[in-house]
Amino acid sequence: MTTTPIPGPGPAGEEALRRALGARTRPPRPGPLSASLTHSWRTLTKFRSSPAQLIDIVLMPIVFLLMFTYLFGGAFAGSTSDYLQFFLPGILVMTVVLMTVYTGTALNTDITKGVFDRFRTLPFWQPATIVGNLLGDLVRYTIALTITTGLGLLLGFRPAGGLTGVLLTMLLLICFAFSVGWIFAALGVVVRSPESVSGTSMIVMFPLIFTSNVFVDTATMPGWMQAIVSVNPVSHAATAARGLMHGTATPGQLGLVLLTSAALIVVFAPLTMYLYRNKNRR
């Protein structure tokens, strides 16, 4: 069977094609901030396709707050009301720290599903994929902190630090959670599946949370346990949160949390970027 070649456009047609293609100027390449905010918005829109994330954000802190306050509050503090004043700042810390695992899970999901390969062909600042996920998680932290604090107020929690103390506590914990999220972002780049991120993270997170002063006062523990709890970053965050909520925070308590947050970012942000770039070259 003989095929007749299709003639190409003549000189006039080529000139018209060039004019059509060159009629518009090429849009500028998005900068790091623009690309990061775009990926942040993409992270937030995932709520539509995965409403289970909202269930975790809303239900998990509520269940823990109600369960520990009314099941163990009398045994820990003598009354549920007294325990609520101690426990609520701690549950806020626990909530945002556990939620940082989502950063690594979401990043690893993009990698395993091939979205990562599509992103690396596009002309934008490549680390925006990671930074955008972390920025989007700030909204999750804010929602969870607001809901948990609101429930605590309904149950009888009364912060002596007032509204200012509550807002400063939220800002401090969002900063702390942002820094912890870089740890799981690095983990999400190197492991093979989202399930591995979750499993490995919980092995690390639960010992950190339960060997802290989130649930009980450090003074009630044995001496050897107090030594462990006193160096736990989660304990530092819980102590600072209680101080801000009740108006007793000291510069040392706040400075320790901020210093820890800065150290985590300085160490794990470059490490995550390095791992991400190397994965791009494979």
Dump pLDDT digits (tens) for 61-116: 888 899 888 888 888 878 888 899 999 999 999 999 988 888 888 888 888 887 77
Does any domain span residue 181? yes
CA distance 264 to 256: 12
pLDDT of 4 over the 70 cut: no
Confidence of residue 252 (pLDDT cuts 50, 70, 90): very high
pLDDT of 282 over the 50 cut: no
Does any domain span residue 194? yes
114-144 pLDDT tens trace: 777 788 777 777 788 888 888 888 888 998 9
What pTM did the predictor assign? 0.84
CA distance 105 to 141: 16
Give the number of other Cβ atoms within 10 Å of residue 280's Cβ: 12
Confidence of residue 235 (pLDDT cuts 50, 70, 90): very high
Does any domain span residue 195? yes
Query: What is the domain count for the chain?
Result: 1
Does any domain span residue 238? yes
Does any domain span residue 72? yes
- Looking at 23-27, 78-82, 275-279, which range is the least confident one? 23-27
Confidence of residue 7 (pLDDT cuts 50, 70, 90): low
Does any domain span residue 154? yes
CA distance 181 to 137: 9
Does any domain span residue 266? yes
Does any domain span residue 235? yes
Give the number of other Cβ atoms within 10 Å of residue 82's Cβ: 13
Hey, what are 271's tokens?
Answer: 């490490």
Q: Which domain holds residue 107?
A: 32-280
